[in-house]
């Protein structure tokens, strides 16, 4: 069963979100906080799970589906075309294409350039999405942390034990 917000609900969500305000979603039973934040000179949409985002989650297969995948090239377009042309003339098209594919790297990030891109990504990967109020978010956040303590370990508490 897939339940997702309507277009009007997403538009209302866009009006509610801002630099100093948050919106709360329950995505596949996980409480998410959605915020607009400033990174460098851009305003981006970021998300937090139960109010947190740990770097360890970037490699966790459970959470990676919610992250935005970014693909970048090691070289500039001009250099890439130049080297591709040289490799193609020396080694052939097949080997040049393989080399060109190897010049890209990907990484995942919890930042999206706009609410629309966040919406597109989340509606593709999530089964259920519901907009919730803060009180409901607090309660579901506590329950989720209790049910999944391995994702919310405090290293200071572990060191004390």
Which tens digits make up the pLDDT trace of 7-52?
888 888 888 887 888 899 999 888 999 999 888 888 898 888 888 8
Query: Dmax of the chain from CA atoms?
Result: 65
Q: Name the helix (H) or strand (E) containing 9.
A: helix 7-16
Identify the residue with better confidence: 145 or 152. 145
The stretch 82-106 carries a mean pLDDT of: 86
Lookup: tokens for 57:
């989650």
pLDDT of res. 19: 81
The stretch 102-131 carries a mean pLDDT of: 89
Residues 153, 12: Cα–Cα separation, whole Å: 35
Helix (H, G, I), strand (E, B) or coil at 114: coil
Indicate the Cα dihedral angle 39, 43, 45, 49, nearest 10°: 30
pLDDT of res. 2: 54
Helix (H, G, I), strand (E, B) or coil at 72: strand
pLDDT of res. 149: 79
Residue 80 CA neighbour count, 13 Å, CB half: 14
Confidence grade of residue 1 (pLDDT, cut at 50, 70, 90): very low
| Cα distances (angstroms) measured from residue 75 to each of 31, 43, 81, 90 | 39, 26, 9, 20
pLDDT of res. 159: 45
Residues 93, 78: Cα–Cα separation, whole Å: 18
pLDDT for residue 113 is more than 90:
yes
CB 85 within 8 A of CB 16: no
Lowest mean pLDDT among 25-34, 57-66, 143-152: 57-66
pLDDT for residue 112 is more than 90:
yes
pLDDT of res. 120: 92
Helix (H, G, I), strand (E, B) or coil at 4: coil
Residues 30, 19: Cα–Cα separation, whole Å: 23
Residues 5, 87: Cα–Cα separation, whole Å: 50
pLDDT of res. 154: 62
């Amino acid at each position: 069963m897939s339940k997702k917000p309507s277009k009007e609900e997403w538009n209302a969500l866009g009006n509610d979100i801002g630099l100093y305000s948050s919106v709360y979603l329950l995505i596949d039973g996980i409480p998410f906080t959605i915020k607009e934040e400033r990174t460098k000179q851009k305003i981006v949409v970021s998300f937090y799970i139960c109010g947190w985002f740990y770097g360890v989650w970037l490699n966790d297969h459970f959470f990676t589906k919610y992250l935005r995948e970014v693909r970048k090239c090691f070289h500039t377009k001009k250099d890439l075309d130049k080297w591709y042309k040289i490799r193609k003339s020396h080694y052939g098209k097949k080997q040049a294409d393989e080399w060109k594919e190897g010049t890209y790297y990907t990484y995942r990030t919890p930042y999206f350039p706009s609410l629309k891109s966040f919406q597109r990504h989340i509606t593709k990967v999530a089964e259920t999405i519901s907009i919730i109020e803060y009180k409901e978010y607090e309660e579901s956040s506590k329950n989720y942390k209790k049910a999944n303590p391995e994702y919310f370990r405090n290293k200071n508490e572990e060191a004390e034990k």
